[in-house]
């Protein structure tokens, strides 16, 4: 079974440009999460989808970030316009729906390393 | 969610047991202890979780003290591939709402030959 995949693995852009990151969760996983680690900091939660709905977007830093999950399958995270402080590694994770199981572990992708120059 | 404290780094000899401590003195009765790890250039990986009883799976064992204020993750026979940052996370187990993970600084475990 394929794991969580993310594209691209690396992206280098200039300040002010737009970048779109993609995440393909494990097939059948309703929950999809975005996290990021900026330089020297801890991994931080950004937002959580349940199917196509945003369940929690409390971690989104500002309105330059837009996440979508049309159709409840893959998700995109767009940064527009990118700023220097957006540089870091962006992780996507997915987990099964809650079917009465107590805890559904989150499976993480390898991340996208974003560098804004 | 309760705050956790972990040593920033530890070394372990290959083949020996690695014991990673975590303090969570403000843990509430309905909060669980979870462990994830991040191997270099990979995403975090779930290891194990528990409430108050000791737990064991194919990857590790989790020992939680009786007062639940601290716990230890045990890798019984550490290999070089276990070199990673290990995160202890304490949180209430929830359903679809509020399932995000809060990562701290973790413990950087270096397994040496």
pLDDT in tens, B62-76: 999 999 999 999 999
Q: Are A31 and B102 an interchain contact pair (Cβ–Cβ within 8 Å)?
A: no
For residue B98, list chain A residues with Cβ-Cβ distance below 8 A.
Answer: 56
A23 touches chain B (CB under 8 A): no
CB pairs under 8 A between A and B: 60
From the list B41, B45, B96, the residue facing A31 with the nearest CB is B96
How high does pLDDT run on average in chain B?
Answer: 92
For residue A107, list chain B residues with Cβ-Cβ distance below 8 A.
Answer: 46
| Token digits of residue B41 | 């250039």
Q: Are B96 and A30 an interchain contact pair (Cβ–Cβ within 8 Å)?
A: yes
From the list B32, B46, B99, the residue facing A48 with the nearest CB is B99
Q: What is the pLDDT along chain B (113 residues), one digit of tens a residue?
A: 668 999 999 999 999 999 999 999 999 888 889 999 999 989 999 999 999 989 999 999 999 999 999 999 999 999 999 999 999 999 876 655 567 889 999 999 999 99
Beta pairing class for B107-112 and A31-38: unpaired
Q: What is the pLDDT of residue A103?
A: 67
Q: What is the pLDDT of residue B98?
A: 62
Among A90, A79, A92, A89, residue whose Cα is nearest residue A49: A92
Q: How many angstroms separate the CA atoms of B105 and A117, rounded? A: 26
Q: What is the pLDDT of residue B33?
A: 93
Q: How many angstroms separate the CA atoms of A29 and A42, rounded? A: 26
Q: What is the pLDDT of residue B53?
A: 86
Q: What is the pLDDT of residue A9?
A: 97
Alpha-carbon distance B48 to nearest alpha carbon in chain A (angstroms): 9
Q: What is the pLDDT along chain A (117 residues), one digit of tens a residue?
A: 689 999 999 999 999 999 999 999 999 898 999 999 998 899 999 999 999 999 899 999 999 999 999 888 999 999 999 999 999 999 999 998 665 555 678 999 999 999 999
Q: How many angstroms separate the CA atoms of B42 and B1, rounded? A: 26
A10 touches chain B (CB under 8 A): no
For residue B42, list chain A residues with Cβ-Cβ distance below 8 A.
Answer: 108, 110-111
Q: What is the pLDDT of residue A70?
A: 86
Alpha-carbon distance A99 to nearest alpha carbon in chain B (angstroms): 9
Alpha carbon B30 to chain centroid, angstroms = 18
B104 touches chain A (CB under 8 A): yes
Q: Are B100 and A109 an interchain contact pair (Cβ–Cβ within 8 Å)?
A: no
Q: What is the pLDDT of residue B31?
A: 87
Q: Which residue of B has its CA nearest to A29?
A: B96
């Amino acid at each position: 079974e394929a794991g969580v995949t993310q594209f691209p693995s690396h992206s280098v852009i200039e300040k002010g440009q737009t970048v779109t990151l993609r995440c393909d969760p494990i097939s059948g996983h309703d929950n999809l999460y975005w996290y990021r680690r900026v330089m020297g900091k801890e991994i931080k939660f950004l937002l959580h989808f349940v199917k196509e709905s945003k369940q929690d977007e409390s971690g989104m830093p500002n309105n330059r970030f837009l996440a979508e999950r049309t159709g409840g399958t893959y998700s995109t995270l767009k940064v527009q316009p990118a700023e220097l402080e957006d540089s870091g590694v962006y992780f996507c994770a997915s987990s099964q729906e809650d079917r009465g199981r107590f805890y559904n572990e989150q499976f993480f992708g390898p991340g996208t390393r974003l560098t804004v120059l | 969610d309760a705050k956790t404290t972990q040593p920033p780094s530890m070394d372990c000899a290959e083949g020996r047991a690695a014991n990673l401590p975590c303090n969570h003195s403000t843990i509430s009765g309905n909060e669980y202890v979870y462990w994830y790890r991040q191997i270099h250039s990979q995403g975090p990986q779930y290891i194990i979780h528990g409430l108050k009883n000791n737990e064991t799976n194919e990857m590790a064992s989790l020992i939680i003290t009786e007062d639940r204020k601290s716990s230890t993750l045990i890798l019984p026979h550490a290999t070089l591939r276990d070199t990673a940052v290990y995160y202890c996370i304490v949180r209430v187990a929830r359903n679809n709402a509020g399932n995000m993970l809060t990562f701290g600084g973790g413990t950087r475990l270096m397994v040496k030959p």
